[in-house]
Amino acid sequence: MMVLVTGANGFIGRALCSMIMLKGWQIRGTVRDVSSLPEGVDAVKIKSINIDTNWASALKGVDVVVHLAARVHVMEKKDPDPIAAFREVNVIGTERLARTAAVAGVKRFVFLSSIGVNGSMTHRLPLSEKDGPQPHNPYALSKLEAEQVLRRIASESGMELVVIRSPLVYGPGNPGNILRLLSLVDKGWPLPLASVTNSRSLIYLGNLVDAIMTCITHPDAAGKTFLVSDSQDISTSKLLRLLASAMGKKPRLIPFPLALLKVIGTLLGKSDEIQRLTGSLLIDSSRIRNVLGWKPPFSMEEGIRETVKWYKNSTRSVRY
């Protein structure tokens, strides 16, 4: 079987490519810089993803496409049309890839979407595939629109579609929010988060890759949307304690009134960051377990240990 992975040199892409090679499948990866791909991956250089992208050489002989590449960074709020750049890559570019894939005879298209399609928080019940979409920012809206376009193409062409909506991913090579938390804990900064009792669903990189691998081959995945997580929910304060414990450090968490923290966040223009740290976002991932028999192969504790190990090694190599 030949699998095409877009964004193959990214945080998730590199781990997925390594797992596919362990399976003994043929793999092709699209990247902007072919030198950054894991050894053994057939590299195809794609400079940009939009309506004009030529996917012909990348799709030759491909059975399954796993589409990871996306525009993910947050644009400035002062941008007069913040959705346009997201749509160019995440909607129009994805449509171009899927239509070309269908014509090329690709059997299955696995699309990595975002839990943001469902919303940014939960109040009582966990989010599930049954919930109506409530995208909360331009990125999440573009992912929803991409899902809708892909379903139309799948219906018209017969190409099988699998959509995976993921929460925050952590693991070795982690960019973004988890890396910032690791740095804060490592430096011993006092954090006013001891009183935070929220509950959030996350997913370890190894678990997400395993879920994607299952969706590549499982016959019952066709036509389905799955929400995935570690199935171990955690508060921000407990997460910080686990990170500190794995580092061999004591967490410096200070009790602080949550309402006041939110006010300060608003005044500093950091309300979104405070929401991510203090709000709850729970996922019901029972569908993928029940339909595909999938179970996360790694516990959250194992995932955090591996993430901290990577962080220590990377900071040590930079230091020396």
Specify the pairing of strand 64-67 against strand 2-6. parallel
Name the phi and psi angles at 29, rounded to 5: -125, 140
- Residue-wise pLDDT for 230-286, tens only, equals 999 999 999 999 999 999 999 899 999 999 998 998 988 888 889 989 999 999 999
Distance CA 279, CA 258 (A): 10
What pLDDT, in 10s, does the model give residues 165-216? 999 999 999 888 899 999 999 999 999 999 999 999 999 999 999 999 999 9
* Residue 149, helix vs strand vs coil: helix
Nearest C-alpha neighbor of 164 from the set 299, 67, 276, 74: 67
Per-residue confidence at 319, pLDDT binned at 50, 70, 90?
Answer: very low
Superfamily of domain 2-166: NAD(P)-binding Rossmann-like Domain (3.40.50.720)
Q: What is the pTM of this model?
A: 0.95
Averaged over 55-79, what is the pLDDT? 85
Q: Which residues are catalytic?
A: 139
Q: Of 40, 45, 49, 41, which is closest to residue 89 (Cα–Cα)?
A: 49
Domain ranges across the chain: 2-166
3-state secondary structure of 273: helix
Which spans in the chain are helix H?
11-23, 56-59, 82-86, 94-103, 138-157, 176-187, 205-217, 236-247, 258-267, 271-278, 286-292, 300-319
